[in-house]
Structure 1
């Protein structure tokens, strides 16, 4: 029996947003001072609290029904998971030679001439000695009516984030974990502990942010892996399993989603390529309810891979770009949603167009600020983009 999914069953959720929002100017300026060593992290707390309240109001005002904290407390989207685990050692200046050069964003660092980059190495048994996002959830929970707590979405990085940078040979000490399965099984335990605690507090939506899967769509990376003797098909299977282990035995009313990202750094992306290479495998084997798919420009390819989309999951089409201020129109978004639905029914006698539309939602292609500096757009641009998203959703699914 298919798992229930509140995004699919509730029309108000047709317009989603991925998670991060632009930092308000006061918080932005304070983070500049933090980077310069002129204030402490504690000095940001009051401004972060105010920014989160502002983020909640923005979502409510434009008509986005799900709620995030905009990731206002994070410097980067993946902060707050691996850095909190026992067994992980921070390496502020890890030699760039210990990163895999075929990974798209690592190729960018190499081209920029960097010799080192911050990272993490697993030196001991992994344990969750403190929560990832329990306190941020509690704060966000205090800002919404009790009946809206179920609408809160918590975002967190995928378990594969550091592994894809360093591979099976340089991610963990082989004296601690003999192979990838042991390493990801250990991570699965701590992710399940976090998810269970969040669920107990009322969280009903967990989103994994994962740039790794779209990297497998990149021809240059695949060629680089083959030259390095890396079995990319086996590694893709490993990364699917990694998430599946994290969400195993989850409650039936907990929605789990994954955002497939091509990179989002100050308006830049790092990768390109159609979902065709991974669609059948990822859409059908990844044990999640909802896929956030980037479709804001040609680098994502066309909608043809959606013919492989299963009948019991939801595809949130990232049709609105967060990388430039150019504003999409309701007409453009409507046409693209219908184009996607028509592709989903092609060669599939078991799915009507009405069924396909019922499986679709729309969103920006990524967050507006995966790093605290944000993308090169204004807060007003952000508001307009979210507004047009909601207006398009109203027209597509209420007419």
Structure 2
């Protein structure tokens, strides 16, 4: 499906945006610039993101998500029936305002700055979500491309606010049906265009697994809505994802990214816990690869992945995108060797734990440190190829 070497180096998705891109994103949301000017600015930024990856020796590249204000709220500009709201604005509509305020304090984010997509009408895909981004990048590189999309559970849960959404979608199940249809439409368009690798981002699954239905949340915007029991929510998430990718196996590689939060450099506000409670649900998902945060001690032991079905690939997180400390080649190699006890080398991809710029105005690292970390992954991949007899 992809012409790649053993232990390929890839990205989770995002890279930091320049001041020019951040300004353009804001001006576009306010209708102050048109598509032509915006595309020119972010096109240059995308090519810069590509050059950084090429310099670092990345085998499977992304567009750096340069056209997105964050990894999932950008859909508001592509789908009718969605309104972008700051977390401060959402406070006016949630039912339990006191609890919501406590959650905002726990999140360690600027509530007035971060925006969340909220359903305020019937959903309809106006134009492609990421297809044009893929086509642009395809024109400028011969390398394999990974295209990233927000997952169906993330979108469904983050966008449903009862007082605003109920008249159009009385519950999350009804909203989920339309989210699935929109993502399938996008997936089929990408497949037709020749896209061979798609990753769905569902970081909020960790929040579901590691906190109870009414515990204090510590995660990003998508975790702020109420949830049922973890079992019910994870069943719902697996069902939504399987419906999105139904019939796509063999046409493109599919991946799912899960982490424990990537909006802050403060370890104490991020989630922790091994993947064990998620493995049964991973095994139900019709996905080729799981792209997992594993370079931080908060992720628990790699041995928790032993029970993952043997045909599943792992995109192993081998560097922490939030720290200025640059990992060593030995650190990466040793983590990969720990996984080789449970996976064939051909099933292991190497990537950072998360993206480097989940939110456009809140990157977690500098381009200088990012380049160093990607170089380390590349050197480790070459060492591993040599160890396993493949140069």
Query: Which category of TM-score, normalised to the shorter sequence, fits these structures?
Result: 0.7 to 0.9
Unaligned runs of 5+ in 2: 218-225
Q: 1:333 to 1:120 in 2, by over 3 A?
A: closer
Matched, 1:324 2:316: no
Q: 1:90 to 1:97 in 2, by over 3 A?
A: closer
Matched, 1:172 2:165: yes
Q: How does 1:36-47 map to 2 (within 5 A)?
A: 40=33, 43-47=37-41
Q: Does the aligned pair in 2 maintain the 1:74–1:80 contact within 8 Å?
A: yes
Q: How does 1:70-85 map to 2 (within 5 A)?
A: 70-85=64-79
User: Which residue of structure 2 aligns with residue 235 of structure 1?
Assistant: 233
Q: How does 1:211-360 map to 2 (within 5 A)?
A: 211-219=203-211, 223=215, 230-250=228-248, 252-268=250-266, 270-342=269-341, 344=342, 355-360=343-348
Matched, 1:182 2:178: no
CA shift for structure 1 position 282: 2.5
Matched, 1:195 2:187: yes
User: Which residue of structure 2 aligns with residue 349 of structure 1?
Assistant: none
Q: 1:48 to 1:207 in 2, by over 3 A?
A: same
How large is the Cα RMSD of the aligned pairs?
A: 3.4
Instruction: Name whichever of 118-127 and 57-66 sits farther off.
Output: 118-127
User: Structure 1 runs of 4+ off > 6 angstroms?
Assistant: 35-39, 99-105, 110-113
Normalization by structure 1: what TM-score?
A: 0.81
SS in 1 for 2:74: coil
Query: In 2, Cα distance between the equivalents of 1:245 and 1:170?
Result: 28
Instruction: Name whichever of 38-47 and 368-377 sits farther off.
Output: 38-47
User: Which residue of structure 2 aligns with residue 128 of structure 1?
Assistant: 125
SS in 2 for 1:186: helix
Q: How does 1:20-35 map to 2 (within 5 A)?
A: 20-24=14-18, 26-27=20-21, 30=23, 34=27
Unaligned runs of 5+ in 1: 345-354
User: Which residue of structure 1 aligns with residue 220 of structure 2?
Assistant: none
Query: In 1, Cα distance between the equivalents of 2:372 and 2:55?
Result: 11
Q: Does the aligned pair in 2 maintain the 1:18–1:363 contact within 8 Å?
A: yes
Query: In 1, Cα distance between the equivalents of 2:26 and 2:170?
Result: 43
SS in 2 for 1:292: strand
CA shift for structure 1 position 161: 2.4
SS in 2 for 1:282: helix
Query: In 2, Cα distance between the equivalents of 1:113 and 1:371?
Result: 11
Matched, 1:94 2:59: no
Q: Does the aligned pair in 2 maintain the 1:62–1:383 contact within 8 Å?
A: yes
Normalization by structure 2: what TM-score?
A: 0.83
* Number of aligned residues: 374
Q: Does the aligned pair in 2 maintain the 1:217–1:277 contact within 8 Å?
A: no
For each residue in 1:4-43, what CA deviation from the matched residue of structure 2 results, as whole angstroms up to 9, or x when unmatched? x64xx84355222111112246545x45985998964755
Q: Does the aligned pair in 1 maintain the 2:15–2:355 contact within 8 Å?
A: yes
User: Which residue of structure 1 aligns with residue 379 of structure 2?
Assistant: 391
Matched, 1:161 2:154: yes
Instruction: Name whichever of 288-297 and 116-125 sits farther off.
Output: 116-125
Query: In 2, Cα distance between the equivalents of 1:202 and 1:209?
Result: 21
CA shift for structure 1 position 235: 1.1
CA shift for structure 1 position 44: 4.3
Q: 1:368 to 1:26 in 2, by over 3 A?
A: same
User: Which residue of structure 1 aligns with residue 221 of structure 2?
Assistant: none
